[in-house]
Amino acid sequence: YYHCSDNHLDHKDLRLVSEHSRCSGRLEIQHGEQWGTLCDVDVGLEDADVICEHLHCGAATVTPGRAHFGKGSGPVWKEIYRCRGDESRLWNCSVSPRVEFSCSHENDASVICSDASWSLRLIDGGSRCDGRVEIYYDGAWRRVQDNLWDLNDAHVVCRQLGCGDGIAAYNSSKSGESARSVWLTDIQCNGNETHLQNCSSSLFDSSPIASTGIGVLCSGEKKVSYESSYLASRCECEAKRYKGIGIARKV
C-alpha cells in the first residue's frame, strides 16, 4: 500500500450522482479531466464514512452496489481505497491497485450519507402517528421490511415524525398489507438517533410483492389535562407551605 497526497493520480474531485440529493448517489471520482466510477466490492463503510465527511454530508449509512443509482459512463477506476474511517478526505487514505480487474458499470459503487433526506409516513393506522412505515425515496413511496424491527427502531421513526415516543413496533399486517416494493431492511437503531437514515440498515430492491412490512404506534403529542395541571400546582404550593416545618401533605 502507499499513501495518497492531493496530487497523487491527479485527483481533482469526487461526487455522488443522483437526481434527489448531493449526499447520496453513484460514487464518481475525477482523475485529470475525466470522471469515472469505482467497483462496489472495493467500497466499504470506512471508505464511505470518509467520502461523506469529504463532501460534508455527515456519516455513511449504506453502501449499495450493483449500480443502485444507475450505471455510470467513462472508466471504472482500478484503485482500491483503504480508509481507516477517521480521514477527512478520500485522498488521505491508503490506496492500492486492483491486480485482477473485471468490474464493469453493472457494479458501480454507491454511497448514502446521513444528510440524505428520507421522508417518512405511517399509513393505514388510526392516525398520522400510527401505521405501516413507508419511505419516500427516488420518486416513489417504498416499503420497509425487517424481521428484527423493535421498539428502538420505533422510537426513531416517532421522533422523526414529531410523534413523541414509540409505544409499539409491530408487523404491519395490523395496518394492512402493501404491494409496494421493499426498499429498506435490517434496520438497527440504538434508539437515540434523530432520523432513520442515521441507523444501520441495508437496501433491498424487489419487484412489488404482497408481503408484510413493519409498523409503528407512537405516543403522539403529549397533552396535559387541566385537572392534572391544577393538581400539580396545588401540590407544589402545599409543599412550599409546609417546607418550613418539614411536612409534605398529600392532596
For the entire predicted model, the pTM comes to 0.51
157-204 pLDDT, tens digit each: 999 899 999 999 988 767 666 777 777 788 889 998 888 877 877 766
Does 53 lie in the same domain as 21? yes
Q: Which of 24-38, 44-58, 131-145, 230-244 has the lowest mean pLDDT?
A: 230-244
Grid coordinates in use for 183?
426498499
Does 95 lie in the same domain as 19? yes
Does 141 lie in the same domain as 192? yes
| 3-state helix/strand/coil string of the chain | CEECCCCHHHEEEEEEECCCCCCEEEEEEEECCEEEECEHHHCCHHHHHHHHHHCCCCCEEECCCCCCCCCCCCCECCEEEECCCCCCCHHHCEEEECCCCCCCHHHECEEEECCCCCEEEEEEEEECCEEEEEEEECCEEEEEECCCCCHHHHHHHHHHCCCCCEEEEEEHHHHCCECCCEEEEEEECCCCCCCHHHCEEEECCCCCCCECCEEEEECCCCCCCHHHHHHHHHHHHHHHHHHHHCCCCCC
pLDDT at 208 over 60: no
pLDDT at 106 over 90: yes
Give the pLDDT score at 6.
Answer: 38
Percent of the chain with pLDDT over 90: 30
Grid coordinates in use for 240?
412550599
Give the pLDDT score at 226.
Answer: 29
| Contact call for residues 28 and 43 (beta carbons, < 8 A) | no
Out of 113, 133, 154, a domain closes at: 113
Give the pLDDT score at 186.
Answer: 80
18-64 pLDDT, tens digit each: 876 788 899 999 998 899 999 988 898 899 999 998 888 878 888 88
Structural domain includes residue 202: yes
Does 156 lie in the same domain as 188? yes
Does 140 lie in the same domain as 87? no
pLDDT at 230 over 80: no
Give the pLDDT score at 102.
Answer: 80
Vertex 6 angle, CA 5 and 8, to 5°: 60
**Which residues span the domain enclosing 89?**
2-113
Q: Cα–Cα distance between 208 and 40 in angstroms, integer?
A: 25
137: Cβ–Cβ under 8 A, 6 or more apart, which residues?
20, 118, 119, 183
Going 161 to 139 to 71 to 203, the CA torsion angle's sign is positive
Q: Cα–Cα distance between 102 and 142 in angstroms, integer?
A: 33
pLDDT at 247 over 60: no
Structural domain includes residue 230: no
- Assign residue 104 the CATH number of its domain: 3.10.250.10
Nearest to 29 by CA among 13, 40, 43: 13
Out of 52, 80, 113, a domain closes at: 113
Question: If pLDDT is split at 50, 70 and 90, which confidence band does 232 have?
Answer: very low
Does 188 lie in the same domain as 94? no
How many structural domains comprise the chain?
2
